[in-house]
Structure 1
Amino acid sequence: MLLTILAVLAAPAPKYPVATIAPALRENAHAVVRAYDEVVTVKSASQLVNTVHKVVTVLDGAGSDSYGQLVIEYSALNRIGYLRGAVYDANGLLLHQLRAAEVHDQGVGSADGSFMTDVRVRYADLRQPSGPYTVEFDYEIVSDNTLFYPSWQPQHAENVALEGATLQVTTPTSLPLRYHEQLLPPGAASAPVVAGAQTTYRWQLPAHPAVDEEPLAPPLSTLLPAVRLAPAAFEVQGYKGSLASWQSLGQWVYQLGQGRDQLPPAVAAKMAQLLVEAPNPRDRARKVYEYVQSTTRYISVQLGLGGWQTAPASSVASGGYGDCKALSNYTCALLKAAGLPAYVALVKAGRDQADVRQEFPSSQFNHVILCMPLAAHGTAPADTVWLECTSQTDAFGYMGSFTGNRHALLLTPEGGRLVATPRYAAQANRQQRRTDLWLTADGGAKATVRTKRVGLAQDTYAQLLHEGDPEQQKRYVSNRLPLSHFTITSLRLAAGPATDALPSVNETLGLELSGLATPAGQRLLLEPNLLGRLAALPAQVGARETPLALPPAALYQDTVRLHLPTGFKIDNLPAPTELSTAYGTYRSTCATLPDGTLQYVRQLELRRPNGSTPLPAAKYPEYQDFRRKVNQADHTQLVLVKHEA
């Protein structure tokens, strides 16, 4: 009995039992963040230490892959001090303590050499066959790259609840902390405390239930509490800089590239010759861009300061390759030799990336492009050419969804200047489609579909055209056809004329369709809008909480010519439909052509009444009603009747 009592007393107390989680936090959650305690200690302008204590209870399999394991990046400028972990069962009893041999380490470079980096990862996997279970991780990162301070957002995903989290930042008082608070609840921030030469800042988040993403909501990263940190002054490998303004950040990056724009004499002379061959500034710039595309290729370089400092233009000229910084710097040097001054620009690239937070100067960029104002050459003041220098196929002057419709940091001798990249409206995001449909008496059909996609609408298809093989192209197109039973008999993608103002991709598609029309006695029932239907949106259940982020402005034009089977005639012609709202316009008509062919014409223009800024949540019912009416009109039905001879 005494031994039993001693054993019980010696047993460690349960940690994080699932039963102690409040029922409200378990509701609609795949995981619950029990604790997320982060401590940032700024040692100097060139070093900081970041420690994290993270505890997550995984409730089911849907949360296991994301939260049952941990991946940490490190590099020459960011080293891992320690990584510890443990996993507990539902009752909070220890199942396993992470051993050093179970922490795996690997590089993240590519086998073909297109991605050169000193970044590596360590990862630990404590996933269990079934939940609930709890993982606990502790780790430390020592960073010699103080251009980047950590960001703190303990709850950042759908269906994940938060039990509590803290952030503490200690910095020398002589190195003031800059921070940006997002949607913090009252009382989350404490007043800074000064002790000697150190100042400490603290934030604390209380429990918060799991959230569901509502239809057309902005990214969750913009909707949940967060604190983003940045230094006032920093130093990376001996290069000192300031983040007090966009101007000072741009000045630091600009100075890193000083003296690295020298070209080999032969290349400089070749560019200078363009002044004679192409006196028009835009034509000359196009020739320079085409030269870069035909003589270089892109590789990613992320080696220490090489993540920011460009390779010399001379090395790109001799080697024929470079990363986004090097290729942009090289192109800038070529343009300068051709009498066309330009500026390198930092941008936060990505189709789904939010724009930079303009009110918080900090290192928010992941890509480099080029900006060439033509106003100095006698053209219109607003005439500016933007160039994506990493692509061998992108159209001259086109940014697209990857870098368009956002802000970039222009690097000038006077420092950085935040400017807007090209904004693309509906006409620059259009799809024009002509479908010829030959219907058979049993409801089957053959179709030839010719689609022209322009601007933003062609972005993915242009990538597919240049990088995908025929099977990948066919699979991509097949997965996006709103049809139940079909066979693709032919598919061809081709780029539109390079001289057009906007790039385009033409698609020619052959289809065999079974059961397209529904037989009903002597009748065939079918919807002429074969491929252009806009989906309806679910009705809002309860009060909407998040703003409404509309899809990009776009223009869709569809013409369907229906060749009737022998002996069939149209029984009714649907009345024309017209809709006009702040969110868009819609028009569809059906008519019989002189040769007996039925022609269905549909045009839909989607608008953004507030530009790229989300609309108030209260606008959702209006927009949902617009989409419902469009969807209803898109399902207009025809009735064909067979007449006996």
Structure 2
Amino acid sequence: MFLTLITALLAGAPAPKYPVEAIAPALRQNAHAVVRADDEVVTVKSASQLIETVHRVVTVLDAAGSDDYGQLVVRYSSLRHINYLRGAVYDAQGRLLHQLRPAEVHDQGLGDAGGSFMTDGRVRYADLRQPATPYTVEFDYEISSENTLFYPYWQPQHAENVALEGATLQVTTPTALPLRFDELRLPAGAATAPVVAGNQTTYRWHLSAQPAVEEEPLSPDIDELLPAVHLAPATFEVQGYAGSLASWQSLGLWNYQLGKGRDVLPPALTAKMAQLMVTDPDPRARARKVYEFVQSSTRYVSVQLGLGGWQTAPATEVATGGYGDCKALSNYTCALLKAAGLPAYVALVGAGSDQADVRASFPSSQFNHVILCMPLAARGPAPADTVWLECTSQTDAFGYMGTFTGNRHALLLTPEGGRLVATPRYGAQANRQQRRTDLWLDATGSAKATVRTQRVGLAQDVYAQLLHQADPEEQKRYVSNRLRLNSFTITSLRLAAAPVTKPQALPGVVELLGLELPGVATPAGRRLLLEPNVLGRLAALPAQVGARQTPLALPPASLTQDTVRLHLPAGFHAENMPQPVQLTSAYGTYTSTCTTLPDGTLQYVRQFETHRPAGPTLPAAKYPEYQDFRRKISQADHAQVVLMKTEA
């Protein structure tokens, strides 16, 4: 290394930087990339402006890390400006290969050609990927932000198979504008005491030598496992609108005031909604009509233009134009409901099937979506209830949240301020799948099958999207990719909405499937060996190698019921059938039986109901116990029927 440095100096070339050989062997283990440095400096200028400076160096060790770490994407908008973006790439020995030129920094808008996304958001991106690994990229950029509702979020190591050599975070803020922060999973000594100099206070954090992490089966999202610091102001200002993050109440009040006075409807529409109070005295039925009116007369268009990312468009504009984003459509629906005599509240929520719930102890802007909450007072025998409405969908069922916004907290926006409340949590009975399979087996071991599957609640979420949005070939591909079969042909497929039997029933989708199953049974002389649980087998979990490091995150509670009727080929009878199985644990219950019906048909019935703990995760030490429960289920799912051909 010393000789290399002397040679470089004599030749007038830049001294080598970040040689790969300098990385500790422990940090290269199981790593596709190593973050050599992630140094971020945040300078709060005022309640309405901050500057973020980032210096990031990553060594890409192999091709698997190149796409994610050999390039950089930085977002900006009318409230967020890029002051500069620089970059360089070095070879394995640390020699400079290339300095990023301004012409190589590309600029692109975030809107889409279809017109469903209106935004002033753009990105600048630079690509320094190299054909051969290892290599090292170095990026420097600076952001000036006039949106202090959002402070930067620091998690220098944020993906699987990425190690961290070193990282620092420094925040300097006027002492009169105190910093709020939430430290998550930091090692001891990562934070230093704040330093006050004049009227400024500086906070510092550092991380060093963090090895690469590999996700374990059923572990939480990797972001929830690695060290992080969330930052937020005590007070902020966006385009002249000042607010406080001292509490959820104050954040909700700021958002409420942004929309105040924007819920006025055209007089004719107000009168139309008021008429519903005469024609539909039942509040739930009246609310359903309002919701169906919104679904039939509006469409979703995202609007992210400056303050428009948080301030709703007036209800009159939605009524006239017939479109709006989640804020506008929720505000519009809220105005319609109020005109129909039904009080409701707009609510902020973090949406997404994999979205973590808000950190309730750290009031801050943790939301990306807006929905509607409508409390219903008790009326006669009907108890008090709360109806939640997704106002951006033209097909979602009335009152259903699903995996997108259910089972988490939302922030109600009221005249008194914000209030954190829970959205619906769906249990096993609300997340169920019931399947009936008829299997006509022939003497060679092949079969034809008809399958009727009804999915309800969370189990139908994706299938409802297929039903309303996808063409038949997309539907077929999706279903085909999820059949746990070695060889099959789909001969027919039809999806339909399940019939609604009760006013408060959860939505469902019925799938009718025709299959040809070559070799589904194994011939063995005069016998056929068949696992009657053709479609519902649950795989065992992999064995844990070494001590488990991460908590156990179980899927939502669910109920799965399978009935298989096996129509035997002529001349065959059941020689041996699986014994009944019943399993009970803290994680669920499982039963399976196989019987002979009066007409000679074999009937296999399986039911599996899962439980979910009250908290988001279970301790890592529970994994062997849960793994053993799953192993027993998998073993029972593979039980065989032995069919014997009667001798002539």
Alignment TM-score, normalising by the size of structure 1: 0.98
Matches of 2:179 and 2:380 in 1, distance apart? 45
Question: Which of residues 356, 359, 362 is equivalent to 1:354?
Answer: 356
Query: Which position in structure 2 is the counterpart of 1:420?
Result: 422
**2: CA distance, partners of 1:217 / 1:378:** 47
Query: In 2 relative to 1, CA 579–469 (structure 1 residues): closer, same or farther, beyond 3 Å?
Result: same
What letter is aligned with 2:109? G
The residue number in structure 1 matching 2:302 is 300
CA distance in 1, matches of 2:192, 2:592: 59
Letter paired with 1:341 = P
- The 5 Å alignment of 1:299-378 reads 299-375=301-377
Give 1:206 shift. Answer: 1.3
- Pick aligned residue for 1:644 from 635, 644, 647: 647
Q: 169, 175, 184: which is aligned to 2:177?
A: 175
* Contact 2:8/2:15 (<8 A) preserved: no
Q: Which amino acid in structure 2 is aligned with residue 165 of structure 1?
A: A
Deviation at 1:8, TM superposition (A): 2.0
Cα gap change, 1:550 to 1:382, in 2 (>3 Å)? farther
Residue 538 of structure 1, CA deviation: 1.1
Any conservation in 2 of the 1:152–1:228 contact (CA below 8 Å)? yes
Q: Structure 1 residues 499, 365: CA separation in 2 closer, same or farther (over 3 Å shift)?
A: farther
For residues 176 and 624 of structure 1, what CA distance do their matches in structure 2 show?
A: 47
2:606 paired with 1:597: no
Aligned-partner Cα distance in 1 for 2:617–2:312: 37
Q: CA deviation at 1:376?
A: 6.8
- TM-score, normalising length: structure 2: 0.98
In the alignment, the residues of structure 1 paired with residue 102 and residue 623 of structure 2 have an alpha-carbon distance, to the nearest angstrom, of 52
Q: Flag structure 1 segments of 5+ consecutive residues without an equivalent.
A: none
The alignment status of 1:529 with 2:533, answered yes or no, reads yes
Residue type of the partner of 1:346? Answer: L
Partner of 1:541: 545
| d(CA) in 1 for partners of 2:22, 2:119 | 44
Name the CA distance, whole Å, in 1 between partners of 2:8 and 2:498: 81
Residue of structure 2 equivalent to 1:512: 516
- The CA distance in 1 between the partners of 2:581 and 2:408, in whole Å, is 36
In structure 2, the residue matched to 1:64 is 66
1:578 matched residue in structure 2: 582
SS state of the match for residue 184, structure 1?
coil
What is the CA-CA distance between 1:535 and the residue it aligns to? Answer: 1.3
What is residue 617 of structure 1 aligned with on the other side? 620
- Gapped regions of structure 2 (runs ≥ 5): 1-5
| 2:3 aligned partner | none
CA–CA separation in structure 1 for the residues paired with 2:292 and 2:479 = 30
- Please state whether the residue corresponding to 1:116 is helix, strand or coil: strand
User: In structure 2, what is the equivalent of residue 119 of structure 1?
Assistant: 121
Deviations, residues 521-542 of structure 1 (Å, cap 9, x unaligned): 1110010001111111112111
Confirm or deny that 1:96 pairs with 2:81: no
Provide the rounded CA distance (Å) in 1 between the counterparts of 2:9 and 2:626. 65
Residue pair 1:18, 1:57 contacting (<8 A) in 2 also: yes
CA deviation string 1:400-426 (max 9, x = no partner): 000000000000000000000000000
Is the 1:374–1:380 contact (alpha carbons within 8 Å) kept by the matching residues of 2?
Answer: no
Name the SS for the 1:483 alignment partner.
coil
Aligned residue type for 1:384:
T
Q: Given the alignment of the two structures, is residue 626 of structure 1 paired with residue 629 of structure 2, yes or no? A: yes
Partner of 1:83: 85
Instruction: Give the whole-Å Cα distance in 2 for the aligned partners of 1:613 and 1:79.
Output: 38
RMSD: 1.2
The alignment-based identity, stated in percent, is 80
The CA deviation string for residues 192-225 of structure 1, in whole angstroms up to 9 with x for no partner, is 0111111000000011100110111111111111
CA–CA distance in structure 1, aligned partners of residues 351 and 601 of structure 2: 47
- What does 1:26-65 align with in structure 2 at a 5 Å threshold? 26-65=28-67
Change (3 A) 1:288 1:527: same
One-letter amino acid of the counterpart of residue 623, structure 2: Y
CA contact (8 A) 2:191 2:205 kept: yes
Q: Is contact 1:335-1:341 (8 Å) kept? A: yes
Instruction: Indicate if the aligned counterparts of 1:78 and 1:144 stay in contact, CA closer than 8 A.
Output: yes
Provide the rounded CA distance (Å) in 2 between the counterparts of 1:382 and 1:555: 27
CA distance in 2 between partners of 1:589 and 1:425 (Å): 25
Aligned equivalents of 1:641 and 1:382: distance in 2? 60
- The yes-or-no answer on 1:196 pairing with 2:198 is yes
Match of 1:434 among 436, 452, 468: 436
Q: Is the Cα–Cα contact under 8 Å of residues 36 and 54 in structure 1 kept in the other structure?
A: yes
What amino acid is aligned across from residue 242 of structure 1 in structure 2?
S
Equivalent of residue 15 in structure 2, options 7, 13, 16: 13
The CA distance in 2 between the partners of 1:227 and 1:363, in whole Å, is 15
SS of match in other structure, 2:191: coil
